Amino acid sequence: VSGAPRLVGDIGEDALLGRIVGRLPPPPEGEVWAGDDAAVLRAVGGDLLFTTDALVEGVDFSWSWCSGGDVGWKAMAVNASDIAAMAGRPRHALATLALPATTPVAVVDAVVDGLVEAADAAGIALVGGDISGARELSLGVALLGSSGPHGVVTRSGNRVGDAICVTGHVGGAAGGLSVLRSGLVPADDVLSGGPAEPAPNPALRRLVARQLRPRARTAEGPLLAALGATSMIDVSDGLLLDLVRLMTAAGHGCRVEPGLVPIDPDLSELSGALVAGGDLVALAVGGGEDFELLFTIDASRVDAARSGLAAHAQVTQIGVVTADGLRFGDEDIERMEGLGWEHLRRR
Ligand SMILES: [Mg+2]
């Protein structure tokens, strides 16, 4: 009769696990997924790709601006993006959830539903996982993928003279984070369109969605391998920081034109409110979590990449690979302040 939400500590681990397994799709004939001691998967041809990434409360997200469904979605999507950045196809995932006993059961349901929703969107099967107690909620995903017919694309294959290109737009996720942190618009209102009246600005809604519900470029990654991409990385920690990683992996430099960076049009539209007095380009190239693909390709293949991806995403050339020096317009990228998000750097 009480209106208090049921908590994880009230139902215990076995009941919680049963509840989670009940929310997962059933395995195909011949495979074993959640519910046994380990998952059994039919082997596929080609090379295996294997990655992991975790979202931690207070570090990667805050309950003040996102829901359990958002956390589940993003934990799956960021891993799918890493497989896509290798030109692989994501296939099977395990999730590890650590959480306080005071977590409402409904939040766990939402986390699992978010995981499954993002898995479905990327063609991934969530085949099992683990639960543990913790003071804050954290959600780790380990993801297996396989290489496509054109093999994998690593970070180190770029050559001097290659074009540097990026899919889609950058800065939207950082703009969305600004919207959420500003508290101007509660996350639920932004995503549901209510109860606020009139409906929130659609550009605001799209920016928040870019932050909370990023989409991995799972179709584009393998396509870019087929089109001849020589190196690739996903933009998780900011365009310039990930660019430096891509160039230094090959021992090369770059020359990138700030004016060519494809800034998210919604961020541009709202720049007056979000970066008042600030630098729009700096936010777009320093903010992370866009999960676009940053890649290099022979300069003669840029048009082919553009038309090959036309049905999925725009492709913009922003610069060229050079023998040395990391140039962003007139600036030396390594001397630019506050670039990207490095988790363990002391501040
Ligand atoms: Mg990555």
Separation of CA 35 and ligand 1 centre (Å): 31
Q: Which two tokens stand for residue 222?
A: 């393998």
Separation of CA 14 and ligand 1 centre (Å): 34
Taking ligand 1, which is a single-atom ion, which protein residues have CB atoms under 5 Å away? Answer: 82, 234, 236
User: Torsions phi, psi of 212, nearest 5?
Assistant: -90, -30
277's torsion region: left (phi>0), alpha (psi -120 to 50) or beta?
left
Collect all residues with Cβ–Cβ distance below 8 Å to 9 and sequence separation of at least 6. 101, 102
Separation of CA 7 and ligand 1 centre (Å): 35
Separation of CA 58 and ligand 1 centre (Å): 21
Separation of CA 264 and ligand 1 centre (Å): 20
Collect all residues with Cβ–Cβ distance below 8 Å to 89 and sequence separation of at least 6. 83, 123, 145, 146, 147, 148, 218, 222
Separation of CA 239 and ligand 1 centre (Å): 11
For residue 269, give the amino acid letter.
E
Separation of CA 234 and ligand 1 centre (Å): 5
Separation of CA 200 and ligand 1 centre (Å): 32
- The answer to whether the pTM exceeds 0.95 is no
pLDDT per residue rounded down to tens, the chain (347 residues) = 567 889 999 999 999 999 999 999 999 999 999 988 999 999 888 899 999 999 999 999 999 999 999 999 999 999 999 999 999 999 999 999 999 999 999 999 999 999 999 999 999 999 999 999 999 999 999 999 999 899 999 999 999 999 999 999 999 999 999 989 887 666 565 555 544 445 568 999 999 999 999 999 999 999 999 999 999 999 999 999 999 999 999 999 999 999 999 999 999 998 888 877 678 999 999 989 999 999 999 999 999 999 999 999 999 999 999 999 999 999 999 888 766 555 555 54
Separation of CA 303 and ligand 1 centre (Å): 25
DSSP 6-26: PBHHHHHHHHHHHHHHHTSPP
DSSP assignment, residue 259?
G
DSSP assignment, residue 334?
G
Separation of CA 233 and ligand 1 centre (Å): 6
Separation of CA 60 and ligand 1 centre (Å): 15
Strand, coil or helix: 264:
coil
Query: Is residue 100 exposed (0-12), middle (13-18) or buried (19+ Cβ within 10 Å)?
Result: middle
Collect all residues with Cβ–Cβ distance below 8 Å to 140 and sequence separation of at least 6. 52, 53, 54, 55, 75, 95, 96
